[in-house]
């Protein structure tokens, strides 16, 4: 059986109060191991931040219905819109134009690949619209639809969208006139403003009876990741009406098109009859006052709620002759006070200090108490209504607009992709768009692009975090703050804990409760994060980083086991002492 480090130490301390020499020896070794772990962790973190050489962008050979990496010929496909934003039905009187500018350039924040360019939103607080037509329309009837693209919020995102639209294929599709009212089939991607933070999934569905389109929203959308590194958004719609959303290759949402969208794709079979009305004789009061109940003869509705307490007596220390307030004896008439102009000067009043030390001052009156005879106004008790018919509801009739679309995953044909957004932050970068029918190709495309640069971007972000000022004088362990330097905090706290625990485990737990409360677990978690970051970088991570991370991991496990061994030794010693005591009693 293996003990957790902190639980085992606590158990040993509580059972024994002392630790034998062998346990002290192991504790000493554990302390050294902990110091080694922290040191190795620091070395691993330092190694991890020694950035590897950036990979160089290479155009992909993967094919799809539409694959975009914003190479030099991007302007042949993408056209900015010059339309006016339609504000009909809103409370805005002014006319908005899509004046936001677009550019294709490399990122300037946490760059992870050399020569990798993306489509960038250049203006803050502006309306942007741009689109690109597909080489041929995309019809996913009976097929899986895969939509994947990268979003890099170089300046964060406080209020704005970073979603894309797949536009409906029709003859009226003109890129110069692309706007918020242009008909689309799918809208997908992050959107944040205030407390709203979600990954939109909206499908524009056609009513086969009326020919009208209605937006169907994913009812519980996952949250977007608002970070400055590149994030990969993937949407997969299968022919079995299952929709899957992935962030950075990890599934964060699975939804059923027939069950998890509002309003529902299919209308109800029956609806309320609008012509049906509630009969005048319908009784919908479930309970009524008992008509047979009568007020009791002794019920006095006029009895007051409170009465004078006739049994009360004036306290012996009550000072009736003393006023509650007196002129302030320390107040002095101001030197510039003119009695003729300002009137007679009167000192301000203060609470009578004599009243503070007694029950009260001034005229004494008997207090009031709750009247035991008070009953208030009588009302008849309620009983079940014998005439009650229940809650009335209009009768149901067949829905004349009912239809059943068993395959809403068969979307309308799509002819273009567009970004139509408003945002308060500029420098939002879009890149590596894949639209097709192969999940495997989308994953392979991500391996060539996102998975190559994302780990490096994380390392760049880590390397640019503020460094600890080594010129400052050393601080006491009690003054350390975990968030300022987690590795140093853990090292110092555990070092102090083990030093004290070698002589008195109980005092160690009292003096350094963080250790007893789970610092070892925090250490292992932190090391796992470091190892995770390194392992995600795959072939991009330098060999020395991987080696340091593996050393940290093995040392951490060794330290944890030594702590458990020390605690187990203490427990056995305590049990032996108890047996000895019983045998001699």
pLDDT of residue 498: 73
DSSP 75: G
Binned at pLDDT 50, 70 and 90, residue 139 comes out as very high
pLDDT of residue 52: 85
> Does the structure show a pLDDT above 80 at 582?
no
Angle between helices 520-536 and 486-501 (to 10 degrees): 140
Q: How far apart are CA 90 and CA 498, in angstroms?
A: 67
Binned at pLDDT 50, 70 and 90, residue 16 comes out as very low
Average pLDDT, integer, range 187-203: 95
The whole-chain average pLDDT of the chain stands at: 82
233 or 518, greater pLDDT: 233
> Does the structure show a pLDDT above 70 at 343?
yes
Q: Which two tokens stand for residue 111?
A: 């760059």
> Does the structure show a pLDDT above 50 at 404?
yes
Closest CA to 505 of 560, 561, 571: 571
Counting residues of the chain whose pLDDT is more than 90, the rounded percentage is 63
> Does the structure show a pLDDT above 50 at 23?
no
> Does the structure show a pLDDT above 50 at 545?
no
Lowest mean pLDDT among 76-90, 216-230, 398-412: 76-90
> Does the structure show a pLDDT above 50 at 18?
no
pLDDT of residue 375: 92
pLDDT of residue 504: 72
- Which residue do the tokens 């010129």 mark? 471
pLDDT of residue 15: 38
> Does the structure show a pLDDT above 50 at 3?
no
> Does the structure show a pLDDT above 70 at 297?
yes
State CA 50 to chain mean position distance.
31
Average pLDDT, integer, range 321-346: 91
268 or 582, greater pLDDT: 268
pLDDT of residue 551: 54
Counting residues of the chain whose pLDDT is more than 70, the rounded percentage is 72
In sequence order, what are the residues at sequence separation of 6 or more whose Cβ sits closer than 8 angstroms to the Cβ of residue 460? 51, 110, 111, 112
Please tell me whether residue 498 adopts helix, strand or coil conformation.
helix
pLDDT of residue 25: 53
pLDDT in tens, 468-522: 666 666 566 666 776 666 666 777 777 777 777 767 776 767 667 766 555 445 4
> Does the structure show a pLDDT above 50 at 342?
yes
> Does the structure show a pLDDT above 50 at 183?
yes
Average pLDDT, integer, range 47-68: 87
> Does the structure show a pLDDT above 50 at 388?
yes
In sequence order, what are the residues at sequence separation of 6 or more whose Cβ sits closer than 8 angstroms to the Cβ of residue 49? 459, 462, 463
Check if the beta carbon of residue 127 is closer than 8 Å to that of residue 99. Answer: yes
């Amino acid at each position: 059986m293996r003990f957790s480090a902190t639980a085992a130490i606590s158990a040993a301390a509580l059972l024994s109060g002392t630790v034998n020499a062998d346990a002290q020896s192991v504790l000493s070794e554990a302390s050294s191991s902990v110091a080694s772990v922290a040191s190795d962790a620091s070395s691993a973190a330092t190694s991890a931040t020694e950035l590897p050489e950036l990979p160089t962008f290479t155009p992909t050979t993967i094919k799809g219905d539409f694959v975009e990496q914003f190479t030099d010929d991007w302007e042949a496909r993408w056209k900015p819109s010059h339309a006016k934003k339609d504000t009909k039905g809103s409370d805005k009187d002014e006319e908005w134009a899509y004046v936001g500018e677009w550019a294709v350039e490399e990122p300037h924040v946490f760059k992870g690949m050399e020569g990798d360019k993306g489509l960038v939103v250049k203006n803050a607080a502006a309306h942007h619209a741009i689109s690109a037509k597909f080489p041929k329309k995309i019809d996913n009837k009976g097929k899986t639809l895969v939509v994947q693209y990268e979003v890099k919020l170089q300046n964060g995102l406080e209020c704005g969208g970073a979603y894309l639209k797949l536009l409906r294929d029709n003859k009226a599709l003109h890129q110069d006139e692309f706007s918020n009212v242009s008909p689309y089939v799918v809208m997908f991607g992050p959107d944040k403003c205030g407390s709203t933070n979600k990954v939109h999934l909206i499908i524009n569905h056609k009513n086969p009876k009326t020919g009208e389109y209605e937006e169907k929203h994913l009812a519980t959308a996952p949250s977007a990741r608002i970070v400055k590194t590149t994030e990969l958004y993937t949407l997969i719609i299968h022919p079995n009406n299952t929709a899957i959303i992935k962030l950075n290759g990890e599934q964060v949402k699975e939804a059923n098109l027939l069950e998890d969208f509002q309003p529902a794709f299919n209308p109800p079979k029956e609806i309320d009859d609008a012509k049906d009305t509630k009969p005048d004789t319908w009784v919908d009061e479930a309970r009524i006052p008992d008509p047979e109940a009568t007020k009791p003869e002794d019920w006095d509705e006029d009895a007051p709620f409170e009465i004078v307490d006739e049994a009360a007596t004036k306290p012996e220390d009550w000072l009736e002759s003393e006023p509650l307030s007196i002129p302030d004896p320390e107040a002095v008439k101001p030197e510039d006070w003119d009695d003729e102009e300002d009137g007679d000067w009167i000192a301000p009043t203060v609470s009578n200090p004599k009243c503070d030390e007694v029950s009260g001052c001034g005229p004494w009156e008997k207090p009031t108490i709750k009247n035991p005879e008070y009953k208030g106004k009588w009302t008849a008790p309620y009983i079940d209504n014998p005439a009650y018919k229940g809650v009335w509801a209009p009768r149901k009739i067949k829905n004349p607009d009912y239809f059943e679309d068993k395959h809403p995953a068969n979307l309308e044909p799509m002819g273009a992709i567009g970004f139509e957004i408003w945002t308060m932050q500029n420098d939002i970068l879009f890149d590596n768009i894949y639209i097709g029918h192969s999940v495997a190709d989308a994953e392979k495309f991500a391996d060539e692009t996102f998975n190559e640069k994302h780990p490096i971007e994380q390392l760049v972000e880590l390397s640019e975090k503020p460094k600890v000022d080594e010129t400052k004088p050393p601080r006491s362990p009690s003054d350390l703050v975990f968030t300022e330097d987690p590795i140093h905090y853990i090292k110092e706290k555990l070092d102090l804990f083990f030093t004290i625990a070698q002589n008195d485990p109980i005092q160690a737990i009292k003096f350094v409760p963080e250790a007893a409360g789970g610092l070892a677990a925090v250490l292992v978690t932190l090391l796992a994060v470091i190892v995770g970051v390194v392992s995600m970088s795959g072939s991009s991570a330098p060999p020395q980083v991987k080696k340091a991370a593996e050393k940290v991991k093995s040392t951490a496990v060794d330290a944890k086991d030594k702590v458990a061994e020390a605690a187990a030794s203490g427990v056995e010693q305590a049990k032996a002492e108890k047996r000895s005591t019983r045998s001699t009693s």
